[in-house]
Structure 1
Amino acid sequence: MTRILIICLLLFTACKKDAYLTDGGLSSAHTDLSTYDYLAKQQFQLFDTVIMIIDHYNLKDEVNNAKTFFAPTDYSVARFLQHKLDSVRQINENNRYSLDDMYNDITVDSVRQYLFKEAITVPDAKETAVTYTTLGNTPAAILKIKQTDPAYYTWSKTPVYLLYYTRVRGTLDNSTTDPNDPDADTRVPCQTTGILTSSGGVLHVLTNQHVFVRF
């Protein structure tokens, strides 16, 4: 019951912290912290569970050495746990699903798919998808999309771009691909981009609505 309450609390709190999605960016892109320490010490504690997962797989050095990390938040992990809990409870309403169960269902490469050997920044990103191979040896594509919502231009006319991580299934989809196709690529926006850490990496944070490792 305690684990269920934690999952529900995380999902509820995520809705209350939507302001984090539009925080206006950072006054400075640079931090004196390594990628790992930045996540561990983040003031809103958005990555506490993510850090537990990184520690479980002994990925601290890999996270710090990666040139780019598209970091999921704790809410993404909570969404995965809730999805799996709903699934096992269709079999037996008394079933439970914990982090330990998750470790049995995913692999270390499930986490490495968020890590890249290339430095990926918004200024250098293209408006057409560019394919990469993650450190988890999975295909991905990155692009930036210019935003047209007038809310982005209340105080400035400077073009605003959001960065998107695309989980590629098979070959990169084209514009005619049916989005309802179960094999369609999944595109996830970043809520924060371009944090330059002292360990030499670029840190982007995926939206809270992302489902950890599932895409």
Structure 2
Amino acid sequence: MRRFKIRGYIFMISMLLLSMGSCKKDEYYKDGGLAQAKFDGSIMEYLDSKPREFDSIAQIIRLAGLENDFQTKEFTFFAPRDESVQKLIGLAKGNAQRGASGVNMLLYLLGRDTVKTLADVDSTIWRKYLLRYMFNGKRKLMDYPQIDFDLLNVFKGQNYTSLGNTVSNIGVVYNDAINDSDKNNITRLKYMGYRQLHISYIPDISRPTEWWACPIASSDIQPDNGVVHVIDYTKADFGYRSGEIIADILESKR
């Protein structure tokens, strides 16, 4: 009975986390626009220069033993923001107190040690999920094919394998240009509006269209050794599906 109740808690909290700002399937999102394109420094230095957005991400990179990669290797990084980490853990930024939600709630209910700092999570877990966001080569928005979530048989994006050997579909949504200055004569030009990059994590490649599509808020940031695209944190969980990483953290705390 106790095991059944614990599993019930895990399921309910995981579903709650997924519903609170998680990536949704086949949706459109507001354009976040381009950030300042060039950055004089490495990807690591870029993240360090933006502590409000990436302080926790930078810490996780170092804990995962990936700092040298972010300093010297050439790759494209789809960067999650700190808010996705805070939601996952339930840990207030810059505070070592126990959070009221996230994985800490489950750990508390299970009577296990909660996560008080990011170092309390096994470094192999951080590494596993960070690698999902890293792809060989430098690719800007213009280097990815078009995707239309309503016409996938025509504009289907393209699958790419991450450095963590997971697969994501990456494509650019060509939005329509709409002129509604005359409410009685609204005109729409198909695919002539702003363009927005999306990354869609595919958990099971045997079901290639069952994915978690996340919009990019800022694209084409160009440090010396790669390209950074910043994921819209209001629509994304860390690791794409919080249930997976929560299960890994719970298992590591046995």
2:107 partner letter: V
| Contact kept in structure 1, 2:144 and 2:170, CA below 8 Å | yes
Aligned length: 178
Scaled by the length of structure 2, the TM-score of the pair is 0.62
1:97 partner letter: V
Change (3 A) 1:51 1:108: same
| Contact kept in structure 2, 1:68 and 1:118, CA below 8 Å | yes
2:199 partner letter: Y
Aligned equivalent of 2:228: 203
Aligned equivalent of 2:194: 160
Q: 1:103 aligns with which of 106, 113, 122?
A: 122
Residue identity over aligned pairs, in percent, reads: 23
Scaled by the length of structure 1, the TM-score of the pair is 0.72
Structure 1 Cα separation of the partners of residues 54 and 74 of structure 2 = 17
Structure 1 Cα separation of the partners of residues 224 and 70 of structure 2 = 12
Structure 2 Cα separation of the partners of residues 159 and 149 of structure 1 = 4
Aligned equivalent of 1:25: 34
RMSD over aligned Cα, in angstroms? 2.8
Q: Which runs of 5+ in 1 are unaligned?
A: 1-20, 152-156, 175-183
Structure 2 Cα separation of the partners of residues 193 and 120 of structure 1 = 10
Q: 1:212 aligns with which of 238, 243, 251?
A: 238
**Aligned pair 1:135/2:152, yes or no?**
no
Q: Which runs of 5+ in 2 are unaligned?
A: 1-29, 91-101, 147-155, 180-188, 242-254
| Contact kept in structure 1, 2:175 and 2:193, CA below 8 Å | yes
Which residues of 2 match residues 8-87 of structure 1 at below 5 A? 24-26=33-35, 28-42=36-50, 45-64=52-71, 65-82=73-90, 83-87=102-106
| Structure with greater Cα Rg | 2
Q: CA deviation at 1:96?
A: 2.8
**Aligned pair 1:88/2:107, yes or no?**
yes
Which residues of 2 match residues 140-151 of structure 1 at below 5 A? 140-148=168-176
Aligned equivalent of 1:12: none
Structure 2 Cα separation of the partners of residues 147 and 110 of structure 1 = 30
2:200 partner letter: T
Q: CA deviation at 1:32?
A: 0.9
